[in-house]
Amino acid sequence: MGASVNPTVRKRRLGAELRRLRKASGLTSTEVAERLLVSQPKISRLENGHCAISPRDVRDMCVIYDVTDQQVVDSLMRMAKESGQQGWWNSYGDIPYSVYIGLEMDAASIHAYEPMVVPGLMQTPAYAQAVIEDTIPLVTAEQAAMRLKVRLRRQHRIYEPACPLRLGVVLDESALRRVVGSPYIMREQLEHLNALSAEPHITVQILPYNVGAHPGLSGQFSILRFDDSPEAGVVYLEGSTSDLYLEKRSDLEHYEAMYAHLQALALSPDSTRHFIADTIKSYIDTVAFARDGVST
C-alpha cells in the first residue's frame, strides 16, 4: 500500500460523501437499507466510517442515489477499494487505538491538552517505555514492546519533510513534576521536549499550578483538523478501556473554545521553555545528588 493511502481516513471520507449523497437524494438510511437488503445499523456504520464497504456496494448506492457522473462513481469506488487495505499499524497486531492512529497519520494539525504525561508524539523511548509498563495493568513484555514500537513509529509524522504535522500542546505542570521512570529519564524527556518546542511547526505551553481551576480539569483531549476538509475535524477523548470520537460542529467549537482558554491561561512558548529549563535543573541536581550519594 502506498504511503499516501490511509484506510481509516478513506472510510471516514467515503462514509461522509455517501451520507451527503443519500441526503441529497431525499432518502432515509432505513429506506436505503431496505433497497440494499441490509440492516439500517450497517448503513449508519458505513456512513460513520466504522467499517469498510465494497466497491460493488458503492456502485449500488450510487444507482440508488441517481449519481450519473461516472468520474464521481469511479472516485468513490476507488476510495472503497483503498479503505479495505491496511495501514502500517495493522502489521503490529491488535492496537486498541488503531482508529486514532489512522486519523493522526492524515491530520494536518493536532491541538491537545495533556494533564498527566508528555504526549506520545513527544516522548523519548525511555519515557514511553516507562509510561507503557507502569500504566497498563497486566501488560506482558511482548505487548509492551509492541506498543513502544508503534508509539515511536507514530512520531515519524511530526518530522515528515513534505508536510510535518502542526502540533500544539498545552501541558499541565503535573506532567513535568511527576517522575516517570527515574529523574534521569525525566531530565532526558524534558530536554527533548524543549528541543521539539523550538521547531517552527510545534508549540508547547505549560499550564502552571498557580492558575487554579480551569476548563482542562475534565481531562485530556485532542483536536484533529484535516487540510482537505477545513470545516471538519475530530475531538479525541482517550479512555482506559474505550475511546470517544466527537465530530459534531458544536462539539468541535466547544473544545476549541476550551483549548483557546487554556492557551490564554498558560505560559507563552518562550516562558514555557524557560520554565522547562528550570525544571530540568532540578532533575540534574537530583541525579547528581543520587550519584554522589552512591559514590560516598
User: Taking a C-beta distance cutoff of 8 angstroms, is the pair 29, 44 a contact?
Assistant: yes
* DSSP string for 10-51: HHHHHHHHHHHHHHHHT--HHHHHHHHTS-HHHHHHHHTTSS
> How do residues 107-133 score in pLDDT, each as one tens digit?
899 999 999 999 999 999 999 999 999
- Give percent above pLDDT 70 in the chain: 90
Residue 1 has pLDDT above 50, yes or no: no
In the CATH scheme, what architecture does the domain 7-86 have? Orthogonal Bundle (1.10)
Q: What confidence score (pLDDT) does residue 230 get?
A: 63
- Pairing between strand 221-226 and 244-246? unpaired
Nearest to 169 by CA among 207, 210, 195: 207
- 89-295 sits in which CATH class? alpha beta
pTM over 0.85: no
3-state helix, strand, coil in the chain (%, to 5): 60, 10, 30
Q: What confidence score (pLDDT) does residue 141 get?
A: 92
Here the cell at position 58 is 458503492
What's the CA gap between 215 and 269, in Å, rounded? Answer: 20
- Give percent above pLDDT 90 in the chain: 54
Enumerate the domain spans of the chain: 7-86, 89-295
